[in-house]
Chain A
Amino acid sequence: MTEVTKTPAAGDALPVKTGKRTNPLANVFDELVRFAQSRSLFMLHYCTGCGAIELPPAMTSRFDMERLGIQPMVSPRQADILLVTGYVSVKTLKRVILTYEQMNSPKYVIGICSCTVNGGMYWQSYATAKKLNDYMPVDIYIAGCMPRPEAVIAGLRGLIEDIRRGTADTWKDYYRRYDHYLGNQQRLFGEDWQTPTDVIAEARHYGLFGPGTLGERTALLERHQKPLEALEMKLDIPELMARRSGLGSKGRTEVK
């Protein structure tokens, strides 16, 4: 385990890989943690296309995803799985990437339907992204047009098995090869594309800073990056504004 006492700079040596731990109980503990992780997954379903129609039966009593420990979650911050169901248009892809970057690690991406694999029936469309794993690492694809709930459950079982074995770590790839993913994103959105999430700093934080994290594409990002500003807050309540300005000057005010 890497201790996060200081953030390594760009030129620092990579954190030392600890490998298998010497304490035998530590491995037991790790396995227990992985088992618990695999049995308690919160799923954010980004319903981009028609494949979303197969999710209600998969979630509700007929096929009952919850018996596998998978529940829908409403916000990306609390979700483990990002489920992209169906075609991803270029405009939607921006939002999918924003959502993905906001999720906490470890995070898993599942692409459902042929469209996320290869564009599906929209392979010739100018507005649809073809290959989801060009833009973010994908753990499991569930092919089909559309896959039945049985297939969705089978795919989720595959992911659960991967998590339990500790092999579902494609999310680390996003940090290790950020330059590659950013390059593909810039190819669609232009070179001034930026997200509110500082992926490079996160890579340092997680100790996943790899040789592919920085490159010519991230240099472009740094050149075009504008500092994020807090949204302007406008209150259009005269009484409240009078009270606030009064507090600033006198400490108290009279409200008519």
Chain B
Amino acid sequence: MSKDLSTWLDTLLNELQGIEVRRRSSRRIRVDVQPDALPALLELLRGRASYVHLSAISCVDWIDEGEFELVYHVWSYEIGSLVSAHTRIARDPGVYISVYDIYTPAAFFERDIHEMFGVFFEGSPDMSRFILTEWDGPPPMRKDFDSEAWVNAHFDFQDYQPDWLQEIEAKGGGVAVRPDEQRFSRRDLDAS
């Protein structure tokens, strides 16, 4: 039964215009699709081909191409296979349409992607802060976000104090910290 379904699905997907289907294995299919056709494809997969479970939406920042890649992973319990629908949208302005009306759990994934990458999903029920409730910086998972610079601007590090090591070594323990691995607080760097 499921083998038949799988064969039909392959035939069906190959019939469609403008999408590229690659079967990675017996249980994984990769589909590359234009952004305007993706909701229709998901509608088709969910409504006609039993792909009822949206496992995740992932996002990749292709900064050199100026694009975000959105990957919708949908799973079918009957066929037992995962379809990954890849689509690329322009990095600027980074607006895309929500698939909340097709898959309800998409609300959480889209909210998360909005927070981490700054992609705005039109029609998503809630685009407010999700995990980073204290955050007021740029979206942190973008490739142009410099985490180390942010850390140096917002936090201090414990000053490295060799006396601690002497104390520990006197008790028969301790490891040496190489000079290039020693970190000092920002205040001391400013003073020097």
Task: Give me the interface of A with B, judged by CB distance under 8 Å.
Answer: 90-91, 94, 117-119, 123-127, 129-131, 133-134, 187-190
Majority SS at the chain B contact face: loop
- From B14-22, B62-70, B78-86, B153-161, the one touching the partner chain is B153-161
Given A124-B151, A125-B147, A126-B147, residue A118 in contact with residue B157 (CB < 8 A): yes
Given A124-B151, A125-B151, A187-B154, 13 other A-B residues pairs in contact with their CB atoms under 8 A = A94-B134, A118-B157, A118-B183, A119-B155, A119-B157, A124-B148, A126-B140, A126-B145, A127-B135, A130-B155, A131-B157, A134-B156, A190-B136
A188 to B155 Cα, complex, angstroms: 9
Using Cβ atoms and an 8 Å threshold, which residues of chain B touch A189?
A: 134
A187 to B187 Cα, complex, angstroms: 14
A86 to B48 Cα, complex, angstroms: 48
Q: B151 to A188, Cβ gap below 8 A?
A: no
Using Cβ atoms and an 8 Å threshold, which residues of chain A touch B157?
A: 118-119, 123, 130-131
The distance from the CB of B3 to the nearest CB of chain A, in whole angstroms, is: 44
A60 to B132 Cα, complex, angstroms: 36
A198 to B40 Cα, complex, angstroms: 57
The distance from the CB of B146 to the nearest CB of chain A, in whole angstroms, is: 9
Q: Which of B140, B147, B158 contacts A117 (CB 8 A)?
A: B158
The distance from the CB of B92 to the nearest CB of chain A, in whole angstroms, is: 22
Show 19 residue pairs from A and B whose CB-CB distance is below 8 angstroms, ordered by the A residue: A91-B133, A118-B157, A118-B158, A119-B151, A119-B155, A123-B151, A123-B157, A124-B147, A125-B147, A126-B140, A126-B150, A126-B151, A126-B154, A130-B151, A131-B156, A131-B185, A133-B158, A134-B155, A134-B156
Q: Which of B137, B158, B183, B185 contacts A126 (CB 8 A)?
A: B137
A134 to B155 Cα, complex, angstroms: 9
A124 to B183 Cα, complex, angstroms: 12
The distance from the CB of A118 to the nearest CB of chain B, in whole angstroms, is: 4
Using Cβ atoms and an 8 Å threshold, which residues of chain B touch A187?
A: 154
Residue of B132, B154, B155 with highest tally of chain A CB at under 10 A: B155
Residue of A117, A123, A130 with highest tally of chain B CB at under 10 A: A130
A117 to B159 Cα, complex, angstroms: 10
Interface residues of B in 80-123 (CB under 8 A from A): none
